[in-house]
A and B are shown apart, each in its own frame.
Chain A
Amino acid sequence: MRKRLSANVSILIASLGLAGFQLESRTAPTTGTTGTGGIFADVTREAGLDFVHFNGMTGELYFAEMNGAGVALFDLDNDGDLDVYLVQGTPLGSGVGHVSDRGRPRTDRLYRNDLDPHRKDLESEAAPGVVLSFTDVTEASGLSAERYGMGVTAGDFDNDGWTDLYVTNLGANQLLRNDRDGSFTDVTAKAGVADEAWSISAIFVDFDRDGWLDLYVTSYVDFNLANHRVCPAASGSPDYCGPLAFAAVSDRLYRNLGDGTFKDVSASSGLRAVSAAGMGVVSGDFDGDGWPDFYVANDQTENHLWLNQGDGTFRNGALLSATAFNESGAPEASMGVAAGDYDNDGDEDLFLTHLRRETNTLYRNDGSGLFVDATRSSGLGPPSWRYTSFGTAWLDFDNDGWLDLLTVSGSVRILEDLARLDDPHPLHQRNQLFRSVRGERFDEVDFPAGSAFDRSEVSRGAAFGDLDNDGDTDVLITNNGGPVRLLLNTLGQDRHWLGLRLVGRDAARDMLGAWACLSRPGAEALCRRARAGGSYASSSDPRVLFGLDGSVAVGRVRVEWPSGRAETFAVEGVDRYLTLREGAGTALP
């Protein structure tokens, strides 16, 4: 049965065997209410990001082949700009053994950002004034990530001031230590974080507040090539299975012992008590007790809100907090997740991306860790119904002080209307941008035909960060079986902003989890968390970016560090990045 090659399968095979095969982008009709035109410019090609994801598709409809892959934005060389790590697939099953990608090994790729504001020769035509340029430094870095990749997260696990990487795979994961000279060493075995389960997302968080970044890894389902199966559609046509066709696997939590090794505390922390098809994960202090919690987006089963008890254990508070199910009490196929204070009330709210014929879901936090499903009242429900969305983030793309939303999409079941037209990869959909209207509702931004958001692709990962350091949030989107897309924000920098890098006192690393609130005269404070994780299988800019709209008046910044210490810092001037070091501010009780 498995070997049968139907016409449907042959359509999918059309994308196989074409090394470097690049899907043409399709255009799709747009809907929406807000016309804004060129907010984002696609500068992928000009910037030199020539990565094309390989999903290993053979026509067998392997479950794993339509789930990858992610991307990380991180500063690999401490030169102040964001570099790019892209996760790659490999052949699956009886797939062709050809692993070359235009003469290079088909592995995860590392691109160095050569941002130089003085290099006018690198200026982008699509975005005049932008001088982004990337160089593929994979081979020079000594990276060896050749497994079937899913996701990646970035964090300085050894507190040496250099950001390391953790790559999730279908099979054993990899911890890649940054050797401070542009190269990486695979230290997985020594660290004890291989995790043979199929992992999707991971995040570094100092959950026990001991000064060392711990590691949370979402485990998806017990799929492998041996238990592969096809799940027919209603007409009997072969299609991909969903997660319920396989046994769920519980997530993993590794505690950093500070000596280069981790201890698997999944069981002792309480996480092992439940199994679910984990996809996205984000950390934040959702109940306001000062301890970092985890929120996990599970596919077609209830989501988990792991509330940190402060003693090394976690309690799942999703049910009582109203974040386990949707408003009707139904589990949804949660993929990506974002946490952020979209209504500027000083706590973190949650947004989840879901399957087609489900809405994406917005949970508004009342400040105590209890949430209300605000999907309907925010207007975010109906526009998402037609899309299967994965990567997502809260981002203030127009720097007006209110967090907007971006979702990237691509189906996981064959879209019949596309297949009927002999589409070679009949899963593609377009991505969406939602503008916040003062944190009360969201309007989908209507992009003109031909714009970056008019493309229809099979998007999965999305990482967010200020790649050109001009004070607004750019986006890097990965496409399953397609090229990466670098969307440069050409709007945000026209408004005022303030960027913060929050670094530790003892360890000169990004203090992931630090919570910064900027007071503003005559306006509500803006609170943002230094965070790399979230979205789907991806890792974003750990810096905090405040959009200030037209205001240049800012007050003080209050920072709650992961250690529990709180300080205030006086800030002067806007439209620039500042580095705030723990211990250098005025301590608060």
Chain B
Amino acid sequence: MKLLLAALVVPALASIGSAPLGAAPGTGAGLEALEPVPEARFEVMEPAVREQLRKARAELEALQRNQAASEADLVRGFGLLGRLYHAYDLFTPAGACYRNAARLDPRDFRWPYYLGVLHRLDGRDGEALAAFTTASKLRPNHLPIMLHLAGLHLGNGRNQEAARLYEQVLASHPGSAAAHLGLGRISSVSGDHAAAISRFEKALELQPEAGRTHYLLGQEYRRLGDLELASEHLAQIGSVGVGFFEPLLLEVQRLAVGAGAALGRGGDAQMLGLYDIALREYRRAVAEVPANAAARFALGSLLVAVGSLDEAIEHLREAVRLDPDHPQPRFLLGHVLFQQGRFAEAEPELERVLESDPGHREARMSLAALLASTQRFEESISLYRAVVEADPGDHDGRLNLGKALVMMANTEEGLAEFDAVLAEATDHATLALAHYNRAVVEAWQGARESAVSSLDTALELDSELMDARVLVARLLAVLGRLEAAARQYDEILARDPANWSARLAGSGVLAAAGRMAEARARLEEGLAVDPESRPLALTLARMLACGADARVRDGAAALALAEKLFAAERSLENAETLGMALAQAGRFDQAAQLQEELAAESRRRGRAAWAEHLDRNLERYRRGQTCRIDPGPAPAR
């Protein structure tokens, strides 16, 4: 029994009175085999962790002293302490606890299972295999144990044993993605790539979030010589691998307290793209230790990533207050404030980052952009120049420097920066941006054909560069190349059907090209995507009421839209549209009456020009004629 008590004897750092403490409970055989549990370094731990471990250890010691305590009580005590150490990656004391628990209750599969997990993580495959084998005898067909055993065989090249176990898993758990993946890897090694693909596809079907499976599929297709499918899969690689649920390990993880553990769990979740879980863990870390700057920064950073900027700013400000010398929280704070347009608040933060870390390139770029946004181009240029001087290959810096120079009317130097990027860069996205920037300058200078040519090149390099596509569409329309402009707008809408400004412009180009039916269709498609879009509704209502091609006119439809618009906002513009629709619906008297009132109201408001514009259609309505589009002198509301 003394040996049982000695199980908690600790070496040098014992700090909780863990020497042998007298008599132990009168329990059964095998106790002489219990081993001492080494202590961890309490002094470096977070207080919450330290207290939790000390408490569990003290309770176990109390149990050992308690004559009335049962062996089951001790098993629970060692099991809990073992899992606590395990939760903090303190494997040596955790292992000792699990071994003691297993000796006290050799019928409980959990202890050899936990030991197997620890051994496997420590690379002690032989001991892991023995532990999982013991566990599997106590709990046959337990999925995690079987998969661990199969994984151990697979990792050590014993493919037949691994395959047998994976097949066994699938017999009882046909939905195990891990088993399919394992069998796929075995097929791959044996050269049966078709079978491997089938297994990997099944694994992906079962766990579609496991994007790493695409890598395995890509490699198999590559080995079969199908580079197209290989590339397709390789382009979809994700950061999550196939896994399997281990409820016993989840129990361990849930035991961990303290900001460090929560931060660790949050970081793991964030790496896997599980932002909700990551946010919950980071919030927990902040709640545990509100003065933990790292927790505040982690939470603030993730809130920025998910777009909760106001809350992010709150935590970043606190992170900066707690650790004022750390440039990263301050930079992010400054950057977010800048993005929110809070220039006066952002500027000093970014400046302080550069004071503490003059080499902070991102802070320099942000501050330069901020200065450009506030029309302080000279200061902005100076900062961009510093970025480029520090790294002449910084293409982003060069492009921004070029833009700032152009804004300062130093077009020649600006173009030189764009050209330097064009001469040096190799990646298509950067080259496309350089061509686009060049095109903007060319367009400003009136060299529209040249600008179109630059934009065509940009879009060849990066077909997703929307700014370039919008600009080329506009330029083509201005140049009268309406069919080409219409094609560009179609491309934009194919990528972004909700882009109402491109839809309006595209529809206008089609109308100008005489393709009125298609112009109407574009607008109707837009309203199907966004039924609440007033610009689209207004344009469509006017087209239905006054379109140059009688075939696209539809008085009833125009009236329905116009009434809806007018009900939503009783503006002069909407009222005019309503008049147009009434005329197209044959209700000329009402149209004329409304138009008269509108013209009178305009005159009362001193808008004589607008009133004259209204008078022109008023005359048509009085004559029983439908409207014609007359944009008028100025927007009227």
A interface residues, Cβ below 8 angstroms from B: 1-2, 6-8, 196, 222, 224, 226-227, 229, 232-238, 247, 264, 266-270, 272-273, 313, 319-320, 322, 325, 327-330, 356-357, 370, 376-377, 379, 381-382, 385-386, 416-417, 419-422
> CA–CA, A296 to B424, complex, Å?
22
Decide yes or no: A235 and B222 within 8 Å by CB, A2-B325, A268-B425, A320-B234 being known contacts: no
| Nearest neighbor of A244 in chain B, beta-carbon distance | B271
List chain A residues, Cβ under 8 A from B189: 376-377
List chain B residues, Cβ under 8 A from A379: 157
| Nearest neighbor of B258 in chain A, beta-carbon distance | A236
What would be 24 A-B contacts, judged by CB atoms less than 8 Å apart? A226-B325, A226-B356, A227-B327, A229-B294, A233-B260, A235-B44, A235-B49, A235-B89, A235-B261, A237-B44, A264-B392, A264-B393, A273-B430, A313-B426, A319-B237, A322-B222, A376-B154, A376-B156, A376-B157, A385-B125, A416-B40, A416-B90, A416-B92, A420-B38
Report the count of interface residues on B (CB-CB < 8 A): 75
B246 within 8 A of A: no
> CA–CA, A109 to B222, complex, Å?
49
Name the segment of B108-116, B213-221, B411-419, B522-530 touching the other chain.
B213-221
List chain A residues, Cβ under 8 A from B314: none
B457 within 8 A of A: no
Q: Decide: B45 and A226 in contact? CB cutoff 8 A.
A: no
B264 within 8 A of A: yes
Q: Decide: A8 and B426 in contact? CB cutoff 8 A.
A: no
| Nearest neighbor of B12 in chain A, beta-carbon distance | A422
B123 within 8 A of A: yes
B359 within 8 A of A: yes
Q: Decide: A266 and B41 in contact? CB cutoff 8 A.
A: no
A1, A376, A420: which contacts B293 (Cβ < 8 A)?
A1
Q: Decide: B222 and A370 in contact? CB cutoff 8 A.
A: yes
B155 within 8 A of A: yes
Q: Decide: A416 and B89 in contact? CB cutoff 8 A.
A: yes
Closest 4 CB pairs of A and B: A236-B46, A329-B215, A385-B123, A329-B212
B230 within 8 A of A: yes
B343 within 8 A of A: no
Q: Decide: A227 and B328 in contact? CB cutoff 8 A.
A: yes
List chain B residues, Cβ under 8 A from A273: 426-427, 430
CB distance from B220 to the nearest CB of A (A): 10
B630 within 8 A of A: no
Q: Decide: A329 and B222 in contact? CB cutoff 8 A.
A: no
CB distance from B390 to the nearest CB of A (A): 7
B interface residues, Cβ below 8 angstroms from A: 11-13, 38-41, 43-46, 48-49, 87-92, 121-125, 154-157, 185, 189, 212-216, 218-219, 222, 227, 230-231, 234, 237, 241, 256, 258-261, 263-264, 293-294, 322-323, 325-328, 356-357, 359-362, 390, 392-393, 395, 423-427, 430
Q: Decide: B260 and A320 in contact? CB cutoff 8 A.
A: no
> CA–CA, A2 to B293, complex, Å?
11
Main secondary structure of the interface of A (DSSP, over half): loop
B219, B264, B322 pick with most chain A CB within 10 angstroms: B219
Q: Decide: A417 and B426 in contact? CB cutoff 8 A.
A: no
List chain B residues, Cβ under 8 A from A386: 122-124
CB distance from A307 to the nearest CB of B (A): 13
B39, B43, B241: which contacts A330 (Cβ < 8 A)?
B241
Decide yes or no: A234 and B87 within 8 Å by CB, A7-B41, A267-B426, A273-B426 being known contacts: yes
Q: Decide: B326 and A229 in contact? CB cutoff 8 A.
A: yes
> CA–CA, A151 to B390, complex, Å?
23
> CA–CA, A419 to B261, complex, Å?
20
List chain B residues, Cβ under 8 A from A247: 362
Q: Decide: A234 and B426 in contact? CB cutoff 8 A.
A: no
| Nearest neighbor of B92 in chain A, beta-carbon distance | A417
Q: Decide: B230 and A320 in contact? CB cutoff 8 A.
A: yes
List chain B residues, Cβ under 8 A from A237: 41, 44-45, 260
> CA–CA, A177 to B352, complex, Å?
40
> CA–CA, A330 to B362, complex, Å?
29
List chain B residues, Cβ under 8 A from A322: 219, 222
Q: Decide: B88 and A234 in contact? CB cutoff 8 A.
A: yes
Decide yes or no: A7 and B43 within 8 Å by CB, A267-B395, A267-B426, A320-B234 being known contacts: yes
List chain A residues, Cβ under 8 A from B39: 420
B46, B185, B231, B430: which contacts A235 (Cβ < 8 A)?
B46
CB distance from B123 to the nearest CB of A (A): 3
> CA–CA, A269 to B423, complex, Å?
11
Q: Decide: B216 and A329 in contact? CB cutoff 8 A.
A: yes
CB distance from A212 to the nearest CB of B (A): 21
> CA–CA, A481 to B155, complex, Å?
35
Q: Decide: A420 and B13 in contact? CB cutoff 8 A.
A: yes
> CA–CA, A236 to B237, complex, Å?
33
CB distance from A115 to the nearest CB of B (A): 40
| Nearest neighbor of A314 in chain B, beta-carbon distance | B426
| Nearest neighbor of B213 in chain A, beta-carbon distance | A329
List chain B residues, Cβ under 8 A from A268: 423-426
> CA–CA, A7 to B425, complex, Å?
51
| Nearest neighbor of B423 in chain A, beta-carbon distance | A268
A226, A235, A268 pick with most chain B CB within 10 angstroms: A235
List chain B residues, Cβ under 8 A from A327: 185, 216
| Nearest neighbor of B289 in chain A, beta-carbon distance | A236
> CA–CA, A7 to B45, complex, Å?
10
| Nearest neighbor of B359 in chain A, beta-carbon distance | A224
Decide yes or no: A328 and B426 within 8 Å by CB, A229-B294, A235-B45, A420-B38 being known contacts: no
> CA–CA, A348 to B11, complex, Å?
51
List chain A residues, Cβ under 8 A from B258: 235-236
List chain A residues, Cβ under 8 A from B323: 1
List chain B residues, Cβ under 8 A from A422: 12
List chain A residues, Cβ under 8 A from B213: 329
| Nearest neighbor of A252 in chain B, beta-carbon distance | B393
A236, A269, A272: which contacts B45 (Cβ < 8 A)?
A236
| Nearest neighbor of B355 in chain A, beta-carbon distance | A226
> CA–CA, A224 to B360, complex, Å?
10
> A8-B43, A235-B260, A272-B393 given. 12 additional CB < 8 A pairs?
A1-B322, A226-B356, A227-B327, A234-B256, A236-B261, A264-B392, A267-B426, A269-B426, A328-B216, A376-B156, A385-B123, A416-B40
Q: Decide: A6 and B43 in contact? CB cutoff 8 A.
A: yes
CB distance from B541 to the nearest CB of A (A): 49
CB distance from B549 to the nearest CB of A (A): 50
> CA–CA, A266 to B395, complex, Å?
11
List chain B residues, Cβ under 8 A from A232: 46, 260, 263, 294
List chain B residues, Cβ under 8 A from A270: 426-427
Q: Decide: A226 and B427 in contact? CB cutoff 8 A.
A: no
> CA–CA, A273 to B430, complex, Å?
9
CB distance from A558 to the nearest CB of B (A): 30
